[in-house]
Amino acid sequence: TQLLEQSPQFLSIQEGENLTVYCNSSSVFSSLQWYRQEPGEGPVLLVTVVTGGEVKKLKRLTFQFGDARKDSSLHITAAQPGDTGLYLCAENSGGSNYKLTFGKGTLLTVNP
């Protein structure tokens, strides 16, 4: 089972600031997904990255997949209180059941 390291574990910032969270592994990802989870709810898929060097944008969120497909980052520009939540990266094992292995998550708090 692949071990996914996420950093930072906790992040508290003011509204309007930029931030980056990271997801790393010692092994190559087949594909990587980023999720956002609000308290008391299930995680919601933000993006899937598959190709090394890939960059995807979702409004103020920019996702990068490392060239070697062993790391990924999520950058948020001009954070808003509505961005508060637990950000999780997950690797799809690609086996017959497509199991997901989650990182430990980054708990983001954006203060007004």
Partner 1 sequence: GAVVSQHPSRVICKSGTSVKIECRSLDFQATTMFWYRQFPKQSLMLMATSNEGSKATYEQGVEKDKFLINHASLTLSTLTVTSAHPEDSSFYICSARSRLAGGREQFFGPGTRLTVL
- Contacting positions for partner 1 (CB under 8 A): 31, 40-45, 48, 86, 88, 92, 97-105, 107
- Residue pair 93/62 in contact (Cβ under 8 Å)? The answer is no
Q: Which residue's CB is nearer to partner 1, number 78 or number 100?
A: 100
Q: How far is the CB of 81 from partner 1 (least distance, A)?
A: 19
Cα–Cα dist 61/47, whole Å: 10
Q: How far is the CB of 35 from partner 1 (least distance, A)?
A: 8
Q: Which residue's CB is nearer to partner 1, number 67 or number 98?
A: 98
Q: Which residue's CB is nearer to partner 1, number 66 or number 85?
A: 85
- Residue pair 75/62 in contact (Cβ under 8 Å)? The answer is yes
Cα–Cα dist 59/11, whole Å: 21
